[in-house]
Amino acid sequence: MTEDLTGSKVTATQPVAVLSGTVFAPCRPMGEQQRGTGDYVVEMIPPVDTWGKEFVTVPLKKHTGDDLFRIVAARENTQVDVTNENSRTLNAGEFWEIDVPSDEYRHVSSSEPVLLVQYSKSGSADRTDTDPFMMVIPSVAQFESEYTFSTVDLVRGPSGSTHHINLVISSADKAGLRLDGQRLPSDAVWHDVPGTRYAATHLDVSSGTHTVHHLSPIATVGLFSYGFVSPESYGYPGGLRLARIAALCSTTAPVPADRVDNDCDGRVDEELLNGIDDDGDGLIDEDLARSNCADSRDQYRTCLQNRDQYRTCLQNRDQYRTCLQNRCRNLRP
């Protein structure tokens, strides 16, 4: 089959998984001849109810000949805005393919939920030791605050393989990021994403398993893991929430870290239990991340060591009782 099935609608009476891809793709723009090294590219497609309205694109390390992106709409009259591009309106099942220069960081926003996918091109497109892969880009609303991820062993010349991650985070939260428990390397170069509060960076990582987390449970980060050796590659989002932020919503009582949009604002678990409007929407403690003091002895020590968090736990008797109920009662510094 040679037809492009992008935009196809799949429904089922019971839960199913949908994977999309092709057995061999050089991943060049549609208007170009599809030639050069290619790969089997595939991704599991998230349910439409989990698609988002705001994204950040980050170029892939090593590439110099641009990165491909496709934006797929699920609903009629979806207006899509992309940095340095003219706006477009897509109907359900339509898609927009964009070839983004390798030195540009873009902001994508839409009036209705969309799916964004990034493609690594054939290494022959820019004479680099890279190859094609397909990678779903989660919306910023689906970012997590912690990840455990692993590199992929590449069969062709494993000793020459390179492994990389792209990180996206609010500029104000960069200092709290940790890679394998340590601060990010001092030579990490951050790039501001035009028109947004976000910044992004590339990092090289060694082969094996790694962790990325933020000291605050409400400071979320996008992580994308990928690697190359000629002529092989891999790429995948390091993790993502699958909250139903695009589904019909009704307000619910907040439960810490329930991954539910309790206040129907298109975001999930964005508040601390501290009597403060952390997300600036005029509501307080309405959609909670994990409890401030609760989940491990190390987190409780951190709470005590940090003056602001300490005040959060102890500023009044009711909040202290709540903290105790969230398993702090059995923890000792």
pTM (2 d.p.): 0.83
The answer to whether residues 233 and 308 belong to one domain is: no
The answer to whether residues 195 and 310 belong to one domain is: no
Q: How far apart are CA 199 and CA 330, in angstroms?
A: 39
pLDDT one-digit tens code per residue, 144-164: 999 999 999 887 766 789 999
- Identify whether 89 is part of a domain: yes
The answer to whether residues 84 and 204 belong to one domain is: yes
Instruction: State residue 333's pLDDT score.
Output: 33
Instruction: Check: CB of residue 126 under 8 Å from CB of residue 64.
Output: yes
The answer to whether residues 221 and 310 belong to one domain is: no
The answer to whether residues 184 and 312 belong to one domain is: no
Instruction: State residue 291's pLDDT score.
Output: 57
The answer to whether residues 122 and 197 belong to one domain is: yes
Instruction: State residue 319's pLDDT score.
Output: 54
| Residue that finishes a domain, picked among 237, 260, 279 | 237
What residues contact 269, with CB distance under 8 A and at least 6 apart? 217, 218, 256, 257, 258, 259, 287, 288, 289, 290
| Residue that finishes a domain, picked among 185, 213, 237 | 237
Instruction: State residue 14's pLDDT score.
Output: 95
Number of structural domains the chain divides into: 2
Instruction: Check: CB of residue 232 under 8 Å from CB of residue 38.
Output: no
- Identify whether 158 is part of a domain: yes
Instruction: State residue 114's pLDDT score.
Output: 98
Instruction: State residue 158's pLDDT score.
Output: 65
- φ, ψ (nearest 5 deg) of residue 107: -110, 130
The answer to whether residues 229 and 319 belong to one domain is: no
Q: Which domain holds residue 128?
A: 19-237
Instruction: State residue 213's pLDDT score.
Output: 96
- Identify whether 248 is part of a domain: no
Instruction: State residue 232's pLDDT score.
Output: 85
- Identify whether 6 is part of a domain: no
Instruction: State residue 318's pLDDT score.
Output: 52
pLDDT one-digit tens code per residue, 73-116: 999 999 999 999 999 999 999 999 999 999 999 999 999 999 99
Instruction: State residue 157's pLDDT score.
Output: 66
- Identify whether 130 is part of a domain: yes
Given a cut of 70, the residues of the chain with pLDDT beneath it are 1-2, 32, 157-158, 291-333
Instruction: State residue 2's pLDDT score.
Output: 64
- Identify whether 114 is part of a domain: yes
- Identify whether 250 is part of a domain: no
The answer to whether residues 86 and 223 belong to one domain is: yes
- Identify whether 149 is part of a domain: yes
